[in-house]
Amino acid sequence: MKLIIDSRENSELTERVIEKAQSFNVPYEKQWLEIGDYVFNDVCFEAKSSFDFLQSIVNKRLWNQLDNMDRAFTNNLVIVYGSFDDGFRKHLEHIRTTMNKASQRIILRKKFFGAMGKIILDTDCSVVWVKDALIAAELIAVVCKMQPHDREVYIPRIVKHKKISTTDLRVDVLSTIKGVSEKKAKLLIDTFGSIMEIGEADLSELSALNGIGKVLATRIIETLNSETKLQL
């Protein structure tokens, strides 16, 4: 497996990513990527400076990027690097407005942290905010080094004491499939009605649902039609 670097990326971060990939013995190559800045197997990285993050929030490009990542990859990580103040200063250099600086800062700060909260709560992407490009690059290299599927993963035992409904149970079962969040599980149940009907659905039907996509739809169908029994 190789770390694929978008050939259009020529930033300081890309230079640091290459340095860290070499340091961690992670093979890499440059290719044109339609989705994400860096891809390693089924992990997609979208890395943005604090300024780029602010810009993508203002022009709303961020949400299209995350939706595309969610549809195409199992694991998605948004990395924001640099301080908010650095991003804010660069933002002021690129806009013309009659609003005073203090008011702009308050508004953009709310949007900055609001977007991070939205990513955490409303998407299946993870988001981390780090000090600078060097730390961001090291994080990417470390994740690539850890990612192979044969590594040992700790899965905690969850004991539930509350009584759950049939709908809750179906959602819990679907949520055991990698890449299926509670939100997506509820969408599947609302659309098809039962786990059996989901397993019998066409690939095109599943992949057409918001946030599912072909990759995840294939995994859902294969899992629900496998001979492996789910232990509840």
Q: pTM to 2 decimals?
A: 0.65
CATH 3.40.50.10130 residue spans of the chain: 3-146
Taking domain 166-224, whether its CATH number is 1.10.150.20 is answered by yes
Do residues 132 and 82 make contact, with C-beta atoms less than 8 angstroms apart? yes
Residue located via tokens 């953009």:
108
Residue 193's pLDDT is 81
SS3 36: coil
Q: What is the pLDDT of residue 134?
A: 95
Domain range 3-146, CATH class = alpha beta
Q: Residue 65 CB: number of other CB atoms within 10 A? A: 19
What is the mean pLDDT of each successive set of 10 residues along the chain, which is 232 residues long? 90 94 94 93 93 90 89 90 89 72 84 89 88 95 79 49 56 83 86 83 86 86 69 40
What pLDDT score was predicted for residue 96?
67
Q: Determine contact, residues 51/82, Cβ cutoff 8 Å.
A: yes
CB 198 within 8 A of CB 213: no
Report pLDDT for 45.
96
| CA-CA-CA-CA torsion sign (179, 182, 184, 185) | positive
Contact indicator for 178, 217 with CB cutoff of 8 Å: no
| pLDDT for position 164 | 44
Q: Where in the chain is the domain with CATH 1.10.150.20?
A: 166-224
